[in-house]
Amino acid sequence: MGNVLTIILQRLALGALTLLIVSIVIFVAVNLLPGDFAQNILGQGATPEAVASIRKDLGLDQPPVTRYFDWLGGVLRGDLGSSFAQANFASFTGTDSGAKTVADQIAPRFANTMFLAMVTAIIAVPLSITLGVLAALYRNSVFDRAANITTLSSISSPEFFLAYILILFLAVLNPILPSLSNIYDGMAFSERLQKSLLPALTLTLVVTAHMMRMTRAAIINLLASPYIEMARLKGLSPMRVIVKHALPNALAPIINVIALNLAYLITGVVVVEVVFVYPGIGQLFVDSVKIRDIPVVQACCLIFAAAYILLNLTADIMSILSNPRLRHPK
Amino acid sequence: MILWIIAALVGMGALAWGFRFAGQAATGNAPKFRDMPYGVAYGYVLGAVVLLWLIWAYMQGRSSDPAIANKFFFLRIAIEGFIIFAIAAWLFRLLGRAVGTAWSRKMFRSMPLTASFGILTILIYAILAIFAPAFAPYGQEQIIPGVAANIVPGGDVALGGNPDFPLGTDQIGRDIMSRLIYGAQNTVGIAFATTLLAFLLGGTFGFLAATLGGWLDQILSRLVDVLMAIPSLIFALLLMTIASVWAPQLGIPLTVFMVVIIAVIDSTRVFRLARAVGQNIVVMDYIEAAKLRGEGLGYLVFKEILPNATAPLLAEFGLRFCFVFLTIAALSFLGVGIQPPLADWGTMVRDLGGFVNYAQFAPLAATAPLLAAGAIALLTVAVNFVVDWMLHKSSGLKE
């Protein structure tokens, strides 16, 4: 068992290293910006004194390497800097305007996005596994073909198309669910759930296809094994053969693909949040991109990348844990 | 609502039992009904109910009462569209089997309907994109004199429409229908160019890494690993933020930056595949023979490796095109992709999205954004169908 622990620790270290390099990439990319932020904020008619003052305020007068380590140190302490859009130029205006830091801005939205991802996962994972098992059970039947075509279509449609189709049928023509997800603090749970159901359904459509196809493929892969034939020959029903004998051995690739799809959700969430005006981190990211609020963009990017790496790492570790052959590399 | 659904499911359960029992009685306990699991019987009943409901909904869509007809308008269009596309794909396959070379006829004979639908759709898009100026009634940037701006789509005069402009005009008076047609040229053309660039970059470096190996392979592979650790849409958005500052200063259109950024991000995926495929080919005996003949690097890559890597790369090209196309559409939808005055589907969906809320009163008005979004979806679905078939054929997968 100690061997497994070493492998997991190795992977975690590798993940941390990747994240560190990614943070450097993000920082370098942001520093490719022409001129500097102070000039950009104040515009053409700024006096040199004002520019210098803001530069000092934001720490832009330091060399890039120092700034990188300042930023990284801040991130590790949970301090993501202060947003330019709501910057608090105390030394410039002489008063404290009570502006919010990036962390203050991101924290509640991050919780909202997590809520959305959780609702999606709760709907999508059981649904796709059930559909995958059924498709494997009735393979090459009308049901299998229909499920295949439907999922292939939904996976290849853009997220906003699916979102508008759902809005059209479930919000406009049949007013069952609200098309705007204006979530706020202190909302009752049921209302919150109802308002985030439509974006969650859209994301479900996006991720279900891949998970379902992988479940089906993983199970069908096993059906030729001798032990499945044995189970069949002793007279078990096809359903029992698949659920009792094939599914447990197919779980490894299935868990792997679930983790990868949750990672994919992170990208999909941006567009869906914009369509439904859902106050999550994706919408904040897009808004900040538009007004070039660099600290927020930087922080969101890092959070997205961290979640992405973490989920990929989980998929990796899960597949190692479930497959003894990978535990003993040659 | 939920009670109704549960009641319907339970009712169908009873029906399924009855169906199986009736089948057993009617056929004298034939094996088909005797050994039918309950789930299969339920599936038959469910399928029949869904089919009946679709027919009922279609009838509702043709109802003379506009309130009811409006409500089922989109379902009606979807059903009609599905049937028309299916027939068109079937006819196209018949045509493909009858004319052409022996090779193409053989290909069409073994083709499933989905793949022939895909090929037909791709052909239509290609024709539309190449001959867009001939199809579009107006230019994509043309502000038509004497025509009001913001004409509501649908051509309903009572709502502020104009029958001459079935999809209306935008905020400065350009014909949306023409822009939709030009969108095929811009959106598809730019996505195609981006994919080509991504393949040029990824393929070249991937084959180089596979042939040369050593430190070049290590450096390129680690670089690609890092770039792939950032979700692609997020990375593209970050780089687009920076590009949007540079673009006006350098006087280069933002769209050019977008093409390069997405090509570089996507070339990492191509690199992985090209390197993996290349490594399998490099160890072959004929490569050894070519090396012994004293052939140069260029000959090895282009004359020996590339021809043997065409099949997997072609399938990847289709999939990569879909990803690039969807990324560009998403970026445009978010407002940082293809820039005006170029007409583009993603931007149109964002601009016209609000009309979806008119669906109850004026279904035609709501079709405008759906047409743009649907155009994107249709092409990616078509490409995916074709790629799915190609992969299935080349892998010899027969279950």
* pLDDT above 80 for A42: no
Is A158 in contact with B326 (Cβ distance < 8 A)?
Answer: yes
The angle at the Cα of A221, spanning A218 to A226, to the nearest 5 degrees, equals 130
Residue B47 forms contact with A (CB below 8 Å): yes
What residues 92-151 of chain A have any CB closer than 8 A to a CB of chain B? 137-140, 142-143, 149
Tokens of B77: 């269009």
**How far apart, in whole angstroms, are the C-alpha atoms of residue A155 and residue A157?**
6
The class (CATH top level) of A106-290 is mainly alpha
Mean model confidence pLDDT for chain A: 80
Is B356 in contact with A274 (Cβ distance < 8 A)?
Answer: no
* pLDDT above 60 for A91: no
* Per-residue pLDDT, A12: 87
ipTM here: 0.85
* pLDDT above 50 for A90: no
pLDDT band for position A44 (50/70/90)?
low
pLDDT per residue over B202-224, tens digit each?
998 999 898 888 888 889 988 88
The DSSP letter of residue B161 is: -
Chain A CB contacts of B229 under 8 Å are 18-19, 21-22, 305, 308-309, 312
Residue A165 forms contact with B (CB below 8 Å): yes
Is A267 in contact with B239 (Cβ distance < 8 A)?
Answer: no
For residue A134, what is the nearest residue in chain B, using CA coordinates? B39
- CA A291 and chain centroid, separation: 23
* pLDDT above 80 for A87: no
Shortest alpha-carbon distance between residue B357 and chain A (Å): 6
Shortest alpha-carbon distance between residue B297 and chain A (Å): 32
Shortest alpha-carbon distance between residue A94 and chain B (Å): 30
pLDDT per residue over A260-275, tens digit each?
888 888 777 888 888 8
- Mutation target to probe the A interface, by most A beta carbons within 10 A, among B227, B242, B383 is B242
pLDDT band for position A34 (50/70/90)?
low
What residues 31-50 of chain A have any CB closer than 8 A to a CB of chain B? 32-34, 40
- Mutation target to probe the A interface, by most A beta carbons within 10 A, among B44, B60, B241 is B241
Residue A250 forms contact with B (CB below 8 Å): no
* Per-residue pLDDT, B196: 94
Is A301 in contact with B385 (Cβ distance < 8 A)?
Answer: no
What residues 179-238 of chain A have any CB closer than 8 A to a CB of chain B? 179, 220, 237-238
Give the list of residues 6+ apart from residue B209 with CB closer than 8 angstroms, or none: B216, B217, B220, B221, B271, B275, B278
Percentages helix, strand, coil for chain A (3-state, rounded to 5) are 75, 0, 25
For chain A, which residues make up each domain, given as ranges?
Answer: 2-102, 106-290
For residue B243, what is the nearest residue in chain A, using CA coordinates? A33
DSSP one-letter string for B289-335: HHHHHT--HHHIIIIIIHHHTHHHHHHHHHHHHHHHHHHHHHHHHHT
- Mean pLDDT is lowest, of A121-125, A132-136, A317-321, for A317-321
Residues of chain B with pLDDT under 70: 146, 149, 154-160, 395-399
DSSP one-letter string for B220-272: HHHHHHHHHTS-HHHHHHHHHHHHHHHHHHHT--HHHHHHHHHHHHHHHHHHH
* Per-residue pLDDT, A43: 64
Is B359 in contact with A173 (Cβ distance < 8 A)?
Answer: yes
Shortest alpha-carbon distance between residue A292 and chain B (Å): 6
For residue A287, what is the nearest residue in chain B, using CA coordinates? B334
pTM of the prediction?
A: 0.85
pLDDT band for position A92 (50/70/90)?
very low
Question: Once rounded to an integer, what is the mean pLDDT over residues A127-156?
Answer: 85
pLDDT band for position A2 (50/70/90)?
low
Residue A251 forms contact with B (CB below 8 Å): no
Is B374 in contact with A176 (Cβ distance < 8 A)?
Answer: no
* C-alpha dihedral sign at B132, B138, B140, B142: positive
Residue A292 forms contact with B (CB below 8 Å): yes
